[in-house]
């Protein structure tokens, strides 16, 4: 079991909210539009062990010609999954301003004069750790949640294409990944600012 910060963080916050990224910022090698928007539903890639970021290989919902796919292409038999607006949900205030998400081993007390005026001076978070390790995420401005409402839409795509996706990662991208390393993004939380430990 690794004790690198990104692994401790992920291990302690992994839950029904998805995979907690230690470094949620997009890779600067991605097209500029992708850097601005960050993760998208349909992204396929891996969590980078060295820094806890997500490395996007391709996106199942974007056309073959999209700039994201330009450097390395897409897997054999790639077929775009066309999503409509009603196929996904966005909850703008899924996490309210000042929300603290922590592992059960962390007790956190947040004190704010006005929780909607988080200027770094009016709020304080005191925390205590009750085990050898723990993790926490503070969302000063809250976060929105995006998720695929019809999550079975992509299940069939995964079943039909998983072998091709792994072959693409290994033979075209030259990635040495295990059989359980690929992720397909079906939802995510996005925040304008955050602090984590």
Q: What is the pLDDT of residues 43-85, one digit of tens each?
A: 999 999 889 999 999 999 999 999 999 889 999 889 999 999 8
Round to whole Å and give the CA distance between 85 and 96: 24
In this prediction, residues 87-103 reach a mean pLDDT of: 88
Structure confidence by residue, pLDDT tens digits, 19-47: 999 999 888 888 888 888 889 999 999 99
Neighbours of 36 (CB within 10 A): 9
Helix (H) or strand (E) holding 129: strand 123-129
The CB density around residue 26, as the number of other CB atoms within 10 Å, is 19
pLDDT at 40: 93
Closest CA to 186 of 12, 18, 11, 53: 18
Residue 124: which pLDDT band, with cuts at 50, 70 and 90? low
- Do 146 and 188 form a contact (C-beta atoms < 8 A)? yes
State how beta strands 183-184 and 43-47 pair: antiparallel
Asked whether residue 195 carries a pLDDT value surpassing 70, the answer given is yes
């Amino acid at each position: 079991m690794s004790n690198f910060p990104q692994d401790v963080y992920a291990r302690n916050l992994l839950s029904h909210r998805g995979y907690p990224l230690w470094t949620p910022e997009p890779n600067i090698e991605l097209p500029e539009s992708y850097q601005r928007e960050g993760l998208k539903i349909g992204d396929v890639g891996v969590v980078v062990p060295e820094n806890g970021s997500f490395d996007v290989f391709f996106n199942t919902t974007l056309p073959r010609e999209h700039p994201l796919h330009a450097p390395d292409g897409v897997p054999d038999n790639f077929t775009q999954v066309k999503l409509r607006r009603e196929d996904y949900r966005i909850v703008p205030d899924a996490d309210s301003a000042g929300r603290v998400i922590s592992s059960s081993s962390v007790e956190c007390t947040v004190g704010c004069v006005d929780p909607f005026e988080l200027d770094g001076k009016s709020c304080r978070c005191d925390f205590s750790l009750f085990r050898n390790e723990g993790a926490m995420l503070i969302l000063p401005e809250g976060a929105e949640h995006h998720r695929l409402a019809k999550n079975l839409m992509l299940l069939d795509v995964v079943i039909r294409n998983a072998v091709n996706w792994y072959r693409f990662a290994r033979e075209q991208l030259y990635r040495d990944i295990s059989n359980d390393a690929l992720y397909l993004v079906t939802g995510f939380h996005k925040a304008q600012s955050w602090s984590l430990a």
